[in-house]
Amino acid sequence: MIKPVGSDELKPLFVYDSDEHQKLNKEAANLPSVVISSQAAGNAVMMGAGYFNPLQGFMNVADAMGAAEKMTLTDGSFFPVPVLCLLENADAIKGAKRIALRDPNVDGNPVLAVMDVKAIEEVTDAQMQVMTEKVYRTTDSDHNGVSTFNSQGRIAVSGDIQVLSFSYFQTDFPDTFRTAVEIRNEIQEHGWKKIVAFQTRNPMHLAHEELCHMAMDRLGCDGLVIHMLLGKLKKGDIPAPVRDGAIRKMVELYFPPNSVMVTGYGFDMLYAGPREAVLHAYFRQNMGATHFIIGRDHAGVGDYYGAFDAQTIFDDEVPAGALEIEIFRADHTAWSKKLNKVVMMNEAPDHEKDDFVLLSGTKVREMLGQGIAPPKEFSRPEVAKILIEYYQSLN
């Protein structure tokens, strides 16, 4: 099985030992504490679940700057984005060596993790700007990720953490949320050797489904892991339970039995395009995938990134040998009226735009909201039915 990034064995930061867990929870009740941002909470969950292996906690400013500027921490290890715990105010934890990090996304703000504080530092405006420019390739506050990153505060608290909760992900998505440890175990149980992962924050239409079939066939994969984002998205994105239902229906009807795992992970989307594509590959290697599909404008938003920047970054910027996982590079896929099947558009050079069935996201949402199923060349009718029910419930 493919090794995790940076270590021979996965080192999740969740405290699985029940006695130790109970002891830490009791201790945390009396520790100085702070409610952290949603983004930091997602990072804690990812560390607890093993996806950010071998990180042991939140980065200090020097490591965060190294990750942003050259994807390398001060000890020389690889990580593609800063993983910071940024606060607006640190008065409650001033001088503390051990603190409790509280969950902003669950009523009552229960303890999410315990941290051994190594440093509490102020991040300068210049440092925030460098990190923003490097990670998001823009400082435009209209960019969803930029505005979120820059609204968390300027005080960075760093140190190793022990994770005590998977926040709302495990309770709200018990059939879908999986840790990297659990996915690795399930891959082993299946006996899969070659595994391709597909990232999604949207329902999967016919083109996405066929792209997964193409990747499995061309790579000779034993299995596919559909890995959906369960954390916070931007306004207008379809809620995770609806996506989950639509994807499961598609898999049930259109993939061979026992060839697909439908799973999810707890993380707030960054919308950081190329840099987030590298992060996505990073934690797919940690969960045991040998290959990862990256298509046009992966993890992008608006017009901030070039169509294939999320692919070329692996050639131009990722340090050699940093990742073992291989990238399956895909173009936009769509139904060809000439060939009567879904194709990658760059593999159909004799086609004009009108030879494809192409619908904008806005058009599809309008149709679904009116109870009209998109054409069968765009979406499976069973998937469209689930989405129509959701959109009509909004009216």
User: The whole model's pTM is what?
Assistant: 0.94
284 has pLDDT over 90? yes
3-state secondary structure of 147: helix
Nearest to 207 by CA among 352, 355, 377: 377
pLDDT score for 325: 98
pLDDT score for 263: 96
282 has pLDDT over 90? yes
Among candidate residues 25, 109, 154, 201, the one labeled active-site is: 201
Q: What is the pLDDT of residues 71-95, one digit of tens each?
A: 999 999 999 999 999 999 999 999 9
Distance CA 303, CA 138 (A): 11
167 has pLDDT over 70? yes
**329: annotated active-site residue:** no
Contacts of 354 (CB under 8 A, 6+ apart): none
List the Cα angle 119/34/23 in 5-degree steps: 90
3-state secondary structure of 145: helix
pLDDT score for 234: 67
**201: annotated active-site residue:** yes
CA distances from 346 to 218, 329, 353, 391 (A): 16, 11, 12, 33
Rounded to 10 degrees, the C-alpha dihedral 52/282/122/48 comes to: -10
Q: Calculate mean pLDDT across residues 287-301.
A: 94
pLDDT score for 277: 97
pLDDT score for 201: 83
144 has pLDDT over 80? yes
pLDDT score for 227: 96
* SS3 track for 274-306: HHHHHHHHHHHHHCCCCEEEECCCCCCCCCCCC
Among candidate residues 109, 202, 329, 365, the one labeled active-site is: 202
Distance CA 67, CA 392 (A): 44
- Average pLDDT, whole number, for the chain? 95
Distance CA 4, CA 1 (A): 9
Q: What is the pLDDT of residues 212-262, one digit of tens each?
A: 999 999 999 999 999 998 887 667 778 888 989 999 999 999 999 999 999
Residues of the chain with pLDDT > 90, as a percent, come to 87
Handedness of CA 164, 167, 172, 177 (dihedral sign): negative
Is residue 46 within 8 Å of 112, Cβ to Cβ? no
- How many beta carbons lie within 10 A of that of residue 39, not counting itself? 24
